[in-house]
Amino acid sequence: MRPTLIYASLFTAFVLTGCGDGTSVTGQDRARQGATVTATTMAAQTVQPIIFSGVIANYTVTKTDAGYAITDTTGAEAPRTVAATARLRFADMSMAFDADGNPGQAYRLYRAAFAREPDAAGLGYWIGVLDQGAWLYDVANGFTASNEFKTLYGGAKTNRDYVSQYYVNVLNRPGEPAGLDYWTGVLDGKNDTLGGVLRNFSEGPENKAGTAAAIAAGIRYIEYGVRYPATAYPLRAAYQQSTTTEHTDFLTVTGTCPGNAAFTYAAPAAVTFEGQPATALSTAVDVGLSNCTPTRRAWTQTDYYDGNKALLGFSRESLEYDVGGGGLPATAKVGDKGVIATQTAYASNTNRTVIGKRTLSYALDADGESANSAILTVTATHVSTANVTTLTMTSSYRVGTDGSLKLLTVDERLSGGAYLIYTQDPTVIQPAKLTITDTVVGTGAVAQNGNTVTAHYTGWLYDPKAPDMKGQKFDSSVGGTPFSFKLGAGQVIAGWDQGILGMRTGGKRTLLIPSTLGYGASGAGGIIKGNMALIFDVELVSVK
Protein backbone atom coordinates (compact mmCIF):
# COMPACT_ATOMS: atom_id res chain seq x y z
CA MET A 1 0.00 0.00 0.00
CA ARG A 2 2.15 2.84 -1.25
CA PRO A 3 1.67 6.22 0.45
CA THR A 4 0.74 7.75 -2.90
CA LEU A 5 -2.87 6.71 -2.34
CA ILE A 6 -4.09 10.13 -1.30
CA TYR A 7 -7.24 9.48 -3.38
CA ALA A 8 -7.31 5.75 -2.76
CA SER A 9 -10.85 6.07 -1.42
CA LEU A 10 -12.05 7.19 -4.82
CA PHE A 11 -11.17 4.14 -6.88
CA THR A 12 -10.99 0.86 -4.98
CA ALA A 13 -14.57 -0.42 -4.74
CA PHE A 14 -15.12 1.56 -1.60
CA VAL A 15 -18.01 3.01 0.28
CA LEU A 16 -18.27 6.75 -0.14
CA THR A 17 -20.13 8.62 2.57
CA GLY A 18 -23.19 9.85 0.86
CA CYS A 19 -24.88 11.51 -1.96
CA GLY A 20 -27.17 13.20 0.48
CA ASP A 21 -29.51 11.21 2.65
CA GLY A 22 -31.29 13.82 4.74
CA THR A 23 -29.61 12.88 8.01
CA SER A 24 -28.27 15.37 10.50
CA VAL A 25 -24.66 15.04 9.39
CA THR A 26 -23.46 18.01 7.41
CA GLY A 27 -21.72 19.07 4.24
CA GLN A 28 -19.03 16.67 3.15
CA ASP A 29 -20.53 13.76 5.11
CA ARG A 30 -24.03 14.27 3.69
CA ALA A 31 -22.45 14.48 0.26
CA ARG A 32 -21.17 10.94 0.33
CA GLN A 33 -23.11 8.85 2.84
CA GLY A 34 -24.13 5.41 1.69
CA ALA A 35 -23.06 5.44 -1.97
CA THR A 36 -20.74 2.87 -3.49
CA VAL A 37 -18.73 3.30 -6.70
CA THR A 38 -16.97 0.50 -8.54
CA ALA A 39 -13.35 0.57 -9.68
CA THR A 40 -14.14 1.45 -13.32
CA THR A 41 -12.19 4.60 -14.16
CA MET A 42 -10.94 6.67 -17.04
CA ALA A 43 -8.13 9.18 -17.35
CA ALA A 44 -8.01 11.73 -14.55
CA GLN A 45 -8.74 15.35 -15.48
CA THR A 46 -6.58 18.16 -14.12
CA VAL A 47 -8.17 21.59 -14.08
CA GLN A 48 -6.28 24.46 -12.48
CA PRO A 49 -8.72 26.96 -10.95
CA ILE A 50 -8.49 30.70 -11.49
CA ILE A 51 -8.05 32.28 -8.07
CA PHE A 52 -10.04 35.30 -6.87
CA SER A 53 -9.21 36.89 -3.52
CA GLY A 54 -12.72 37.88 -2.39
CA VAL A 55 -15.83 35.97 -1.37
CA ILE A 56 -18.15 34.92 -4.19
CA ALA A 57 -20.87 37.41 -3.17
CA ASN A 58 -18.56 40.27 -4.16
CA TYR A 59 -18.56 39.31 -7.86
CA THR A 60 -21.00 39.51 -10.74
CA VAL A 61 -20.98 37.05 -13.64
CA THR A 62 -21.97 38.06 -17.17
CA LYS A 63 -21.98 35.76 -20.20
CA THR A 64 -20.08 37.12 -23.21
CA ASP A 65 -19.14 35.86 -26.66
CA ALA A 66 -15.67 35.03 -25.28
CA GLY A 67 -16.91 33.23 -22.18
CA TYR A 68 -17.84 34.92 -18.87
CA ALA A 69 -16.92 38.34 -17.51
CA ILE A 70 -16.18 38.30 -13.78
CA THR A 71 -16.45 41.71 -12.09
CA ASP A 72 -15.45 42.50 -8.51
CA THR A 73 -18.13 44.89 -7.22
CA THR A 74 -15.81 46.15 -4.46
CA GLY A 75 -13.24 47.31 -7.02
CA ALA A 76 -10.43 45.38 -5.33
CA GLU A 77 -9.72 43.33 -8.47
CA ALA A 78 -9.83 44.28 -12.13
CA PRO A 79 -12.55 42.64 -14.27
CA ARG A 80 -11.52 39.39 -15.94
CA THR A 81 -12.98 37.30 -18.75
CA VAL A 82 -12.72 33.53 -18.39
CA ALA A 83 -13.42 30.66 -20.76
CA ALA A 84 -16.64 28.67 -20.54
CA THR A 85 -14.62 25.65 -19.38
CA ALA A 86 -12.83 27.56 -16.60
CA ARG A 87 -13.01 26.71 -12.90
CA LEU A 88 -13.01 29.65 -10.49
CA ARG A 89 -12.02 29.52 -6.82
CA PHE A 90 -13.13 32.35 -4.56
CA ALA A 91 -12.29 32.85 -0.89
CA ASP A 92 -15.32 30.89 0.30
CA MET A 93 -16.37 28.54 -2.54
CA SER A 94 -15.80 27.62 -6.20
CA MET A 95 -17.66 28.02 -9.48
CA ALA A 96 -17.70 26.31 -12.89
CA PHE A 97 -19.56 26.95 -16.15
CA ASP A 98 -18.79 23.75 -18.06
CA ALA A 99 -22.29 22.38 -18.60
CA ASP A 100 -21.08 19.55 -20.83
CA GLY A 101 -18.09 18.61 -18.66
CA ASN A 102 -17.80 17.04 -15.23
CA PRO A 103 -19.36 19.98 -13.29
CA GLY A 104 -22.50 19.99 -15.44
CA GLN A 105 -22.79 16.20 -15.47
CA ALA A 106 -22.37 15.99 -11.68
CA TYR A 107 -24.93 18.75 -11.13
CA ARG A 108 -27.55 17.14 -13.38
CA LEU A 109 -27.04 13.65 -11.97
CA TYR A 110 -27.20 14.85 -8.36
CA ARG A 111 -30.41 16.76 -9.06
CA ALA A 112 -31.89 13.88 -11.06
CA ALA A 113 -31.17 11.30 -8.35
CA PHE A 114 -32.58 13.25 -5.40
CA ALA A 115 -35.05 15.72 -6.94
CA ARG A 116 -33.39 18.66 -5.22
CA GLU A 117 -30.62 21.18 -5.63
CA PRO A 118 -27.23 19.65 -4.76
CA ASP A 119 -25.59 20.86 -1.57
CA ALA A 120 -22.33 22.65 -2.38
CA ALA A 121 -20.01 20.27 -0.52
CA GLY A 122 -21.61 17.14 -1.93
CA LEU A 123 -21.52 18.49 -5.47
CA GLY A 124 -17.86 19.45 -5.07
CA TYR A 125 -17.01 15.98 -3.84
CA TRP A 126 -18.59 14.27 -6.84
CA ILE A 127 -17.04 16.70 -9.31
CA GLY A 128 -13.71 15.67 -7.76
CA VAL A 129 -14.60 11.99 -8.14
CA LEU A 130 -15.29 12.50 -11.84
CA ASP A 131 -12.15 14.61 -12.25
CA GLN A 132 -10.15 11.75 -10.77
CA GLY A 133 -11.39 9.40 -13.49
CA ALA A 134 -14.60 7.76 -12.30
CA TRP A 135 -17.30 7.02 -14.89
CA LEU A 136 -20.59 8.91 -14.57
CA TYR A 137 -22.35 5.54 -15.01
CA ASP A 138 -20.65 4.18 -11.88
CA VAL A 139 -21.45 7.30 -9.89
CA ALA A 140 -25.11 6.95 -10.92
CA ASN A 141 -25.14 3.35 -9.66
CA GLY A 142 -23.65 4.60 -6.41
CA PHE A 143 -26.39 7.19 -6.06
CA THR A 144 -29.15 4.62 -6.52
CA ALA A 145 -27.60 2.56 -3.71
CA SER A 146 -27.65 5.51 -1.28
CA ASN A 147 -29.99 5.92 1.68
CA GLU A 148 -31.56 9.09 0.31
CA PHE A 149 -32.42 7.46 -3.02
CA LYS A 150 -33.94 4.46 -1.26
CA THR A 151 -36.05 6.77 0.90
CA LEU A 152 -37.15 8.93 -2.03
CA TYR A 153 -38.15 5.87 -4.06
CA GLY A 154 -39.41 3.85 -1.12
CA GLY A 155 -42.85 3.47 -2.66
CA ALA A 156 -41.55 1.95 -5.90
CA LYS A 157 -42.31 -1.78 -6.01
CA THR A 158 -41.72 -2.51 -9.70
CA ASN A 159 -39.37 -1.31 -12.40
CA ARG A 160 -42.27 0.59 -13.97
CA ASP A 161 -42.75 2.41 -10.66
CA TYR A 162 -39.11 3.53 -10.74
CA VAL A 163 -39.36 4.68 -14.35
CA SER A 164 -42.60 6.56 -13.66
CA GLN A 165 -40.97 8.39 -10.78
CA TYR A 166 -37.89 9.18 -12.90
CA TYR A 167 -40.13 11.04 -15.31
CA VAL A 168 -41.67 13.08 -12.49
CA ASN A 169 -38.50 13.72 -10.47
CA VAL A 170 -36.10 14.32 -13.36
CA LEU A 171 -38.23 15.72 -16.17
CA ASN A 172 -41.05 17.19 -14.05
CA ARG A 173 -43.81 15.54 -16.07
CA PRO A 174 -45.66 12.20 -16.32
CA GLY A 175 -44.11 9.63 -18.61
CA GLU A 176 -45.61 8.95 -22.04
CA PRO A 177 -46.68 5.32 -22.64
CA ALA A 178 -43.98 4.61 -25.23
CA GLY A 179 -41.22 5.91 -22.95
CA LEU A 180 -42.56 4.06 -19.93
CA ASP A 181 -42.74 0.83 -21.89
CA TYR A 182 -39.24 1.23 -23.32
CA TRP A 183 -37.36 1.95 -20.08
CA THR A 184 -39.37 -0.61 -18.10
CA GLY A 185 -38.42 -3.18 -20.73
CA VAL A 186 -34.76 -2.21 -20.38
CA LEU A 187 -34.88 -2.85 -16.63
CA ASP A 188 -37.07 -5.96 -16.82
CA GLY A 189 -34.73 -7.45 -19.42
CA LYS A 190 -31.72 -6.61 -17.21
CA ASN A 191 -30.17 -4.67 -20.08
CA ASP A 192 -29.25 -1.86 -17.71
CA THR A 193 -29.35 -0.93 -14.03
CA LEU A 194 -31.41 1.63 -12.15
CA GLY A 195 -28.31 3.81 -12.14
CA GLY A 196 -27.73 3.35 -15.85
CA VAL A 197 -31.29 4.40 -16.69
CA LEU A 198 -30.99 7.34 -14.27
CA ARG A 199 -27.85 8.44 -16.11
CA ASN A 200 -29.73 8.31 -19.42
CA PHE A 201 -32.51 10.48 -18.03
CA SER A 202 -29.99 12.89 -16.53
CA GLU A 203 -27.93 13.32 -19.70
CA GLY A 204 -30.86 13.29 -22.10
CA PRO A 205 -31.58 16.43 -24.14
CA GLU A 206 -34.80 17.14 -22.24
CA ASN A 207 -33.10 17.28 -18.84
CA LYS A 208 -30.16 19.27 -20.22
CA ALA A 209 -32.59 21.84 -21.57
CA GLY A 210 -34.58 21.83 -18.34
CA THR A 211 -31.55 22.50 -16.13
CA ALA A 212 -29.74 24.94 -18.43
CA ALA A 213 -31.21 28.05 -16.80
CA ALA A 214 -30.25 26.87 -13.30
CA ILE A 215 -26.57 26.69 -14.20
CA ALA A 216 -26.36 29.50 -16.73
CA ALA A 217 -24.78 31.86 -14.18
CA GLY A 218 -22.35 29.22 -12.92
CA ILE A 219 -22.35 26.02 -10.89
CA ARG A 220 -21.39 26.76 -7.28
CA TYR A 221 -19.68 24.10 -5.19
CA ILE A 222 -17.15 23.47 -2.43
CA GLU A 223 -14.06 21.57 -3.54
CA TYR A 224 -13.23 18.52 -1.48
CA GLY A 225 -10.37 19.18 0.94
CA VAL A 226 -9.73 22.77 -0.20
CA ARG A 227 -8.95 25.28 2.54
CA TYR A 228 -11.01 28.33 1.65
CA PRO A 229 -9.38 31.25 3.48
CA ALA A 230 -12.66 33.08 4.18
CA THR A 231 -14.43 30.15 5.84
CA ALA A 232 -15.17 31.18 9.42
CA TYR A 233 -15.77 28.70 12.23
CA PRO A 234 -17.86 29.85 15.25
CA LEU A 235 -15.42 28.61 17.88
CA ARG A 236 -16.79 30.29 20.99
CA ALA A 237 -20.42 29.38 20.35
CA ALA A 238 -19.55 25.83 19.29
CA TYR A 239 -17.41 25.21 22.37
CA GLN A 240 -19.94 26.62 24.79
CA GLN A 241 -22.86 24.84 23.15
CA SER A 242 -21.00 21.56 23.55
CA THR A 243 -20.01 22.12 27.18
CA THR A 244 -23.40 23.45 28.30
CA THR A 245 -25.21 20.26 27.35
CA GLU A 246 -25.25 17.69 30.13
CA HIS A 247 -23.52 14.57 28.83
CA THR A 248 -20.62 12.22 29.41
CA ASP A 249 -17.81 11.40 27.00
CA PHE A 250 -16.36 7.95 27.65
CA LEU A 251 -12.78 7.69 26.43
CA THR A 252 -10.12 5.00 26.25
CA VAL A 253 -6.70 5.83 27.70
CA THR A 254 -3.49 4.66 26.04
CA GLY A 255 0.11 5.76 26.29
CA THR A 256 2.16 5.21 29.44
CA CYS A 257 -0.82 4.08 31.48
CA PRO A 258 -3.71 2.28 29.74
CA GLY A 259 -7.20 2.61 31.13
CA ASN A 260 -10.53 4.37 30.72
CA ALA A 261 -11.87 7.85 31.47
CA ALA A 262 -15.19 9.67 31.72
CA PHE A 263 -15.64 13.41 31.13
CA THR A 264 -19.01 14.46 32.55
CA TYR A 265 -20.25 17.94 31.67
CA ALA A 266 -22.68 19.55 34.12
CA ALA A 267 -25.45 21.98 33.28
CA PRO A 268 -24.43 25.65 33.51
CA ALA A 269 -24.88 27.24 36.91
CA ALA A 270 -25.44 30.91 37.78
CA VAL A 271 -22.85 31.99 40.36
CA THR A 272 -21.05 35.05 41.66
CA PHE A 273 -17.40 35.18 40.71
CA GLU A 274 -15.17 37.83 42.30
CA GLY A 275 -18.20 39.95 43.04
CA GLN A 276 -19.84 39.82 39.60
CA PRO A 277 -22.51 37.57 38.07
CA ALA A 278 -21.06 34.65 36.15
CA THR A 279 -21.89 31.32 34.57
CA ALA A 280 -20.00 28.27 35.84
CA LEU A 281 -19.36 25.35 33.49
CA SER A 282 -18.03 22.35 35.36
CA THR A 283 -16.55 19.10 34.10
CA ALA A 284 -15.96 16.09 36.34
CA VAL A 285 -13.13 13.86 35.13
CA ASP A 286 -12.72 10.28 36.39
CA VAL A 287 -9.72 8.30 35.12
CA GLY A 288 -9.06 4.65 35.93
CA LEU A 289 -5.64 3.21 35.04
CA SER A 290 -4.72 -0.45 34.92
CA ASN A 291 -1.01 -0.61 35.74
CA CYS A 292 0.07 2.77 37.11
CA THR A 293 0.11 4.49 40.49
CA PRO A 294 -2.29 5.90 41.39
CA THR A 295 -4.75 3.62 39.64
CA ARG A 296 -7.51 6.22 39.83
CA ARG A 297 -7.48 9.97 39.33
CA ALA A 298 -10.52 12.19 39.66
CA TRP A 299 -10.99 15.94 39.60
CA THR A 300 -13.48 18.66 38.77
CA GLN A 301 -12.56 21.69 36.70
CA THR A 302 -14.73 24.78 36.30
CA ASP A 303 -14.59 27.70 33.89
CA TYR A 304 -16.34 30.96 34.80
CA TYR A 305 -17.76 33.20 32.04
CA ASP A 306 -19.28 36.67 32.06
CA GLY A 307 -22.45 37.70 30.21
CA ASN A 308 -20.50 38.08 26.94
CA LYS A 309 -19.12 34.55 27.21
CA ALA A 310 -15.67 35.91 27.99
CA LEU A 311 -13.58 33.78 30.33
CA LEU A 312 -13.24 35.22 33.86
CA GLY A 313 -11.52 32.47 35.81
CA PHE A 314 -10.75 28.80 36.22
CA SER A 315 -10.56 26.34 39.06
CA ARG A 316 -9.38 22.76 39.33
CA GLU A 317 -9.83 20.97 42.61
CA SER A 318 -8.52 23.47 45.16
CA LEU A 319 -6.55 25.56 42.65
CA GLU A 320 -8.14 28.79 41.47
CA TYR A 321 -6.82 31.18 38.87
CA ASP A 322 -7.40 34.70 37.64
CA VAL A 323 -7.66 35.26 33.91
CA GLY A 324 -5.96 37.63 31.49
CA GLY A 325 -7.61 37.21 28.10
CA GLY A 326 -11.10 36.59 26.90
CA GLY A 327 -11.45 32.95 25.95
CA LEU A 328 -11.82 31.50 22.47
CA PRO A 329 -12.38 34.04 19.69
CA ALA A 330 -15.93 34.31 18.42
CA THR A 331 -14.85 33.09 14.96
CA ALA A 332 -11.61 31.85 13.42
CA LYS A 333 -10.30 30.66 10.07
CA VAL A 334 -7.99 27.73 9.30
CA GLY A 335 -4.45 28.73 10.22
CA ASP A 336 -5.51 31.01 13.08
CA LYS A 337 -3.94 30.45 16.48
CA GLY A 338 -3.23 32.39 19.62
CA VAL A 339 -3.38 32.60 23.40
CA ILE A 340 -6.86 32.29 24.85
CA ALA A 341 -5.93 33.32 28.37
CA THR A 342 -3.07 33.48 30.84
CA GLN A 343 -4.29 32.45 34.27
CA THR A 344 -2.24 33.26 37.35
CA ALA A 345 -2.89 32.13 40.91
CA TYR A 346 -4.93 34.54 43.00
CA ALA A 347 -2.98 36.99 45.12
CA SER A 348 -5.62 36.59 47.84
CA ASN A 349 -4.49 34.12 50.50
CA THR A 350 -8.04 32.87 50.85
CA ASN A 351 -8.08 31.67 47.24
CA ARG A 352 -4.44 30.84 46.58
CA THR A 353 -3.25 27.33 47.41
CA VAL A 354 -0.49 26.82 44.86
CA ILE A 355 1.34 29.64 43.13
CA GLY A 356 1.84 29.15 39.40
CA LYS A 357 0.54 29.95 35.96
CA ARG A 358 -1.79 28.27 33.47
CA THR A 359 -1.71 29.31 29.82
CA LEU A 360 -4.51 28.41 27.43
CA SER A 361 -3.90 28.55 23.69
CA TYR A 362 -5.72 27.40 20.56
CA ALA A 363 -4.98 26.52 16.94
CA LEU A 364 -7.36 25.83 14.05
CA ASP A 365 -6.08 23.47 11.34
CA ALA A 366 -7.62 22.00 8.20
CA ASP A 367 -9.53 18.79 8.74
CA GLY A 368 -8.26 17.10 5.58
CA GLU A 369 -11.48 15.09 5.41
CA SER A 370 -14.04 17.82 4.82
CA ALA A 371 -14.31 21.37 3.62
CA ASN A 372 -17.05 21.98 6.21
CA SER A 373 -15.06 21.20 9.34
CA ALA A 374 -11.70 21.96 10.90
CA ILE A 375 -9.61 20.60 13.75
CA LEU A 376 -9.52 22.77 16.87
CA THR A 377 -6.82 22.09 19.45
CA VAL A 378 -6.95 23.72 22.86
CA THR A 379 -3.78 23.41 24.93
CA ALA A 380 -3.52 24.10 28.67
CA THR A 381 0.05 24.41 30.01
CA HIS A 382 0.71 24.49 33.76
CA VAL A 383 3.99 26.07 34.89
CA SER A 384 5.34 26.22 38.45
CA THR A 385 6.98 29.25 40.06
CA ALA A 386 10.34 27.66 39.16
CA ASN A 387 9.25 27.90 35.50
CA VAL A 388 8.94 24.11 35.23
CA THR A 389 6.14 22.78 33.04
CA THR A 390 4.26 20.34 35.26
CA LEU A 391 1.37 19.46 32.94
CA THR A 392 0.43 19.99 29.30
CA MET A 393 -3.04 18.91 28.25
CA THR A 394 -4.13 19.23 24.61
CA SER A 395 -7.75 18.60 23.64
CA SER A 396 -8.59 18.02 20.00
CA TYR A 397 -12.04 18.75 18.56
CA ARG A 398 -13.72 18.63 15.15
CA VAL A 399 -15.60 21.91 14.68
CA GLY A 400 -18.07 22.52 11.85
CA THR A 401 -19.13 25.65 10.04
CA ASP A 402 -22.61 24.88 11.42
CA GLY A 403 -21.37 25.32 15.00
CA SER A 404 -21.08 21.61 15.81
CA LEU A 405 -18.24 20.42 18.04
CA LYS A 406 -17.02 16.89 18.74
CA LEU A 407 -14.28 15.92 21.17
CA LEU A 408 -11.74 13.68 19.43
CA THR A 409 -8.78 13.18 21.76
CA VAL A 410 -7.16 14.48 24.92
CA ASP A 411 -3.35 14.26 25.16
CA GLU A 412 -1.99 14.71 28.68
CA ARG A 413 1.78 15.08 29.21
CA LEU A 414 3.20 15.03 32.74
CA SER A 415 6.51 16.47 33.95
CA GLY A 416 7.88 13.04 34.84
CA GLY A 417 7.71 11.89 31.22
CA ALA A 418 4.47 9.94 31.50
CA TYR A 419 1.75 10.63 28.98
CA LEU A 420 -1.88 9.65 28.60
CA ILE A 421 -3.82 9.73 25.34
CA TYR A 422 -7.60 9.70 25.62
CA THR A 423 -9.60 8.67 22.56
CA GLN A 424 -13.34 8.42 21.91
CA ASP A 425 -13.26 4.98 20.32
CA PRO A 426 -11.13 2.12 21.67
CA THR A 427 -10.51 0.99 18.08
CA VAL A 428 -9.30 4.42 16.99
CA ILE A 429 -5.95 5.07 18.66
CA GLN A 430 -4.46 8.39 17.63
CA PRO A 431 -1.11 9.98 18.41
CA ALA A 432 -1.42 13.66 19.18
CA LYS A 433 0.60 14.89 16.20
CA LEU A 434 3.18 13.98 13.56
CA THR A 435 6.30 12.75 15.33
CA ILE A 436 9.66 12.62 13.50
CA THR A 437 12.54 10.57 14.91
CA ASP A 438 15.93 10.47 13.13
CA THR A 439 17.52 7.07 13.74
CA VAL A 440 20.40 7.84 11.34
CA VAL A 441 21.25 11.42 10.36
CA GLY A 442 22.21 11.54 6.70
CA THR A 443 25.17 13.43 5.30
CA GLY A 444 24.03 14.05 1.71
CA ALA A 445 21.67 16.47 -0.02
CA VAL A 446 18.77 17.94 1.92
CA ALA A 447 15.23 17.08 0.77
CA GLN A 448 13.35 20.28 -0.04
CA ASN A 449 9.93 20.97 -1.50
CA GLY A 450 10.05 20.58 -5.26
CA ASN A 451 12.82 17.93 -5.17
CA THR A 452 12.25 14.45 -6.54
CA VAL A 453 13.15 12.16 -3.67
CA THR A 454 13.67 8.41 -3.72
CA ALA A 455 13.27 6.34 -0.58
CA HIS A 456 12.88 2.84 0.79
CA TYR A 457 10.17 2.45 3.38
CA THR A 458 8.29 0.01 5.60
CA GLY A 459 4.85 0.83 6.98
CA TRP A 460 3.04 -0.48 10.07
CA LEU A 461 -0.32 0.21 11.67
CA TYR A 462 0.16 2.25 14.82
CA ASP A 463 -0.34 0.15 17.96
CA PRO A 464 0.77 1.73 21.27
CA LYS A 465 0.84 -1.72 22.90
CA ALA A 466 3.23 -3.25 20.34
CA PRO A 467 7.04 -3.02 20.51
CA ASP A 468 8.07 0.41 19.25
CA MET A 469 4.31 0.97 18.68
CA LYS A 470 4.62 -0.93 15.37
CA GLY A 471 1.58 -3.10 14.85
CA GLN A 472 0.71 -5.02 11.67
CA LYS A 473 3.08 -4.40 8.76
CA PHE A 474 1.11 -3.48 5.65
CA ASP A 475 3.74 -2.54 3.04
CA SER A 476 7.47 -2.33 2.36
CA SER A 477 9.79 -1.49 -0.53
CA VAL A 478 12.85 -2.95 1.19
CA GLY A 479 14.38 -5.62 -1.02
CA GLY A 480 12.61 -4.20 -4.06
CA THR A 481 12.42 -0.95 -6.01
CA PRO A 482 12.60 2.25 -3.96
CA PHE A 483 9.76 4.73 -4.24
CA SER A 484 10.14 8.17 -5.95
CA PHE A 485 7.90 11.23 -5.76
CA LYS A 486 8.01 15.02 -5.87
CA LEU A 487 8.20 16.39 -2.34
CA GLY A 488 5.58 18.95 -1.33
CA ALA A 489 3.45 18.42 -4.43
CA GLY A 490 0.66 16.46 -2.75
CA GLN A 491 1.64 13.23 -4.53
CA VAL A 492 1.83 11.40 -1.20
CA ILE A 493 0.01 11.57 2.12
CA ALA A 494 0.63 14.77 4.07
CA GLY A 495 2.57 12.91 6.76
CA TRP A 496 5.20 12.01 4.15
CA ASP A 497 5.37 15.48 2.62
CA GLN A 498 5.88 17.00 6.06
CA GLY A 499 7.92 14.18 7.57
CA ILE A 500 10.61 13.83 4.87
CA LEU A 501 11.14 17.58 4.45
CA GLY A 502 14.67 18.47 5.66
CA MET A 503 15.89 14.88 5.65
CA ARG A 504 19.41 14.24 4.24
CA THR A 505 20.38 11.54 1.78
CA GLY A 506 21.57 8.43 3.60
CA GLY A 507 19.44 9.25 6.61
CA LYS A 508 16.81 7.08 8.24
CA ARG A 509 13.65 8.35 9.91
CA THR A 510 10.66 6.96 11.75
CA LEU A 511 7.43 8.84 11.10
CA LEU A 512 4.49 8.50 13.49
CA ILE A 513 1.56 9.81 11.43
CA PRO A 514 -1.95 10.55 12.78
CA SER A 515 -4.79 9.63 10.46
CA THR A 516 -5.52 13.29 9.64
CA LEU A 517 -2.14 13.38 7.87
CA GLY A 518 -2.57 9.87 6.47
CA TYR A 519 -5.61 8.32 4.83
CA GLY A 520 -8.25 10.03 6.96
CA ALA A 521 -11.67 8.60 7.66
CA SER A 522 -11.80 6.62 4.41
CA GLY A 523 -8.67 4.55 4.98
CA ALA A 524 -6.92 2.81 2.10
CA GLY A 525 -7.77 -0.73 1.10
CA GLY A 526 -8.59 -3.59 3.42
CA ILE A 527 -5.75 -3.21 5.93
CA ILE A 528 -5.70 0.53 6.64
CA LYS A 529 -9.14 1.22 8.06
CA GLY A 530 -10.60 4.67 8.49
CA ASN A 531 -8.99 6.89 11.17
CA MET A 532 -5.95 4.63 11.58
CA ALA A 533 -2.59 6.11 12.55
CA LEU A 534 0.54 4.77 10.84
CA ILE A 535 4.26 4.35 11.41
CA PHE A 536 6.82 4.43 8.59
CA ASP A 537 10.52 3.70 8.67
CA VAL A 538 12.02 5.70 5.79
CA GLU A 539 15.54 5.59 4.32
CA LEU A 540 16.32 8.45 1.93
CA VAL A 541 18.18 7.08 -1.09
CA SER A 542 18.53 10.17 -3.29
CA VAL A 543 17.45 13.78 -3.81
CA LYS A 544 17.27 15.40 -7.25
pLDDT in tens, 103-123: 999 999 999 999 999 888 889
Q: DSSP string of 416-485?
A: TS-EEEEESSTT----SS-EEEEEE---SPBP-TT-EEEEEEEEEEE-TTSGGGEEEEEEE-TTSPPEEE
| Closest of 485, 494, 538, 489 to residue 514, by C-alpha | 494
Lowest mean pLDDT among 19-33, 199-213, 242-256: 19-33
Radius of gyration of the chain (CA): 27
Q: How far apart are CA 146 and CA 406, in angstroms?
A: 25
SS3 content of the chain, % helix, strand, coil (to 5): 20, 35, 40
Cβ atoms of residues 322 and 305 within 8 Å: no
Mean pLDDT of 416-432: 66
Residue 429 banded pLDDT, cuts 50, 70, 90: low
Q: Is the pLDDT of residue 351 over 80?
A: no
**Exposure string for 53-92, b = 16+ CB within 10 A, e = fewer:** ebbbebbebeeeeeebebbbeeeeeeebebeeebbbbbbb
Give Cα separations from 313 to 243, 281, 310, 444 (angstroms).
16, 11, 10, 53
CB atoms within 10 A of CB 291: 9
pLDDT at 87: 95
Return the number of other C-beta atoms located less than 10 Å from residue 21's C-beta: 22
SS3 242: helix
Between the alpha carbon of residue 430 and those of residues 208, 369, 404, the distances in Å are: 47, 16, 21
Residue 60: partners with Cβ closer than 8 Å, 6 or more residues away: 70, 71, 73
Q: What confidence score (pLDDT) does residue 45 get?
A: 63
Of residues 481 and 318, more confidently modeled: 481
pLDDT tens-digit map of 197-224:
999 999 999 999 999 999 999 999 988 8
Of the candidates 152, 99, 134, the one whose C-alpha atom is nearest the C-alpha of residue 16 is: 134
Distance between CA atoms of residues 303 and 29, nearest Å:
33
H-assigned helices in 31-158: 102-114, 120-131, 136-144, 147-152
How many C-beta atoms lie closer than 10 Å to residue 398's C-beta? 18
Question: Phi and psi (nearest 5°) for 110?
Answer: -60, -50
The H or E element that residue 267 is part of is none
Angle at 107 between CA 48 and CA 230, to 5 degrees: 50
User: Which range scores top for mean pLDDT: 272-281, 331-340, 381-390, 436-445?
Assistant: 436-445
- State how far the Cα of 60 lies from the Cα of 387, in Å rounded to an integer: 56
Alpha-carbon gap, residue 248 to 305, rounded angstroms: 21
To the nearest 10 degrees (0 to 180), the angle between helices 102-114 and 120-131 is 130
Q: What is the pLDDT of residues 512-537, one digit of tens each?
A: 888 778 887 667 877 887 778 899 99
Residue 118 gets which letter from DSSP? P
pTM: 0.47
Distances (CA, A) of 11 to 143, 187, 201, 421: 16, 27, 25, 34
Assign 240 to helix, strand or coil: helix
Q: Residues 168-204: pLDDT tens digits?
A: 999 999 999 999 999 999 999 999 999 999 999 999 9
| Cα 260 to Cα 426: distance, rounded to the nearest angstrom | 9
pLDDT confidence of residue 425: 57
